[in-house]
Amino acid sequence: MAIESVGIVGAGQMGNGIAHVFALSGYEVLLNDINAAALDSAVATIDRNLERQVSRGKVSAEDKAAAMARIRTTTSLADLGQTDLVIEAATENEAVKNKIFDALLPHLKPETILTSNTSSISITRLASRTDRPERFMGFHFMNPVPVMQLVELIRGIATDQPTYQTLLEVVARLGKTAASAEDFPAFIVNRILVPMINEAVYTLYEGVGSVRSIDESMKLGANHPMGPLELADFIGLDTCLAIMNVLHDGLADTKYRPCPLLTKYVEAGWLGRKSGRGFYDYR
């Protein structure tokens, strides 16, 4: 199936990045959020990030203008009805995602491919509640989406081959690289990355190192572009905790126990960059 138009549900940091790369690759984008202010802020962020690419010579001013012209916004899920592909990029909470699918499905064309940008939740389980498990997939982008090369593709147990093939073609048109992962908790990237972040929080919790020494050690000692605590703030501590809980529940192994300090920070509302405070202070 040829994909020309894309509906994106959720205009947060992942949703706006996904809208950015689709619009730049020539797709018509309809960005949805329940919050109109979040949509305005997402469009401003996309404009700023595209401008950054223009100033570094990565994107021409004409391509930026054309990409911005391809992005429309709506607070109504019904408006996504005529799109060829829908990407749900809402918060990492299964109940929220199910609620969105329930509201969205009556409006979708039968052939529309439905995907979730979930970073950890079972694709098979999300798909099973929809009317199209064979046309449902995990479509997992990395943050910051305009920069990161990888997209994970996760087939649920019922996903059909044409759907998988179509998404492979979409990833190629985005100029990104697809990695296929089996549908097990947190797939590949987050199965490895987030327990490392959780271990860094344990390292802090147990007093082995300070925030700065832990991050400096991993940047200079392992050549990571960001230290694990800085990266946790960047991803969002609530998202990191949600992923650890999915691993802990889904794999029933104490090695995935979320660090109590991570839980405490989330309970305090210290969610990282997006809330102004996490392991670092951004205020």
Catalytic positions, written as ranges: 119, 140, 152, 190
For the CA atoms of the chain, what is the radius of gyration?
Answer: 19
CB proximity list for 149: less than 8 A, separation 6 or greater = 176, 177
Burial of 39 (0-12, 13-18, 19+ CB in 10 A): buried
Minimum separation from the CB atom of position 111 to ligand CAA (A)? 28
Taking the least distance from each CB to ligand CAA, the nearer of 234 and 270 is 234
Taking the least distance from each CB to ligand CAA, the nearer of 150 and 168 is 150
119 binds ligand CAA (CB under 6 A): yes
44 binds ligand CAA (CB under 6 A): no
CA 252 distance to own-chain centroid = 24
For tokens 């797939």, the residue is 187
Write the single-letter amino acid at 119.
Answer: S
User: In this structure, are residues 100 and 91 in contact, taking their beta carbons and an 8 Å threshold?
Assistant: no
x-or-dash pattern for ligand CAA, window 66-105, by CB under 6 A?
----------------------------------------
Listed residue (142, 71, 77) closest to 105, CA to CA: 77
* Choices 33-41, 69-77, 126-134, 141-149 (CB under 6 A): range interacting with ligand CAA: 141-149
148 binds ligand CAA (CB under 6 A): yes
**Strand 28-32's sheet: what is its strand order?**
71-74, 28-32, 5-9, 85-88, 113-116, 136-141, 150-155, 177-181
Q: Which of 7, 12, 15, 146 binds ligand CAA (CB under 6 A)?
A: 146
189 binds ligand CAA (CB under 6 A): yes
53 binds ligand CAA (CB under 6 A): yes
Minimum separation from the CB atom of position 226 to ligand CAA (A)? 4
25 binds ligand CAA (CB under 6 A): no
Neighbours of 161 (CB within 10 A): 9
User: In this structure, are residues 111 and 1 in contact, taking their beta carbons and an 8 Å threshold?
Assistant: yes
b (16+ CB within 10 A) / e for 119-153: bbbbbbebbeebebbebbbbbbbbbebbeeeebbb
User: In this structure, are residues 79 and 32 in contact, taking their beta carbons and an 8 Å threshold?
Assistant: yes
Taking the least distance from each CB to ligand CAA, the nearer of 113 and 142 is 142
Minimum separation from the CB atom of position 39 to ligand CAA (A)? 18
49 binds ligand CAA (CB under 6 A): yes
x-or-dash pattern for ligand CAA, window 149-188, by CB under 6 A?
----------------------------------------
User: Which residues in 217-256 contact ligand CAA (CB under 6 A)?
Assistant: 225-226, 231, 235, 239
Residues near ligand CAA (CB under 6 A) are: 49, 52-53, 56, 58, 119, 142-144, 146-148, 189-190, 193, 225-226, 231, 235, 239
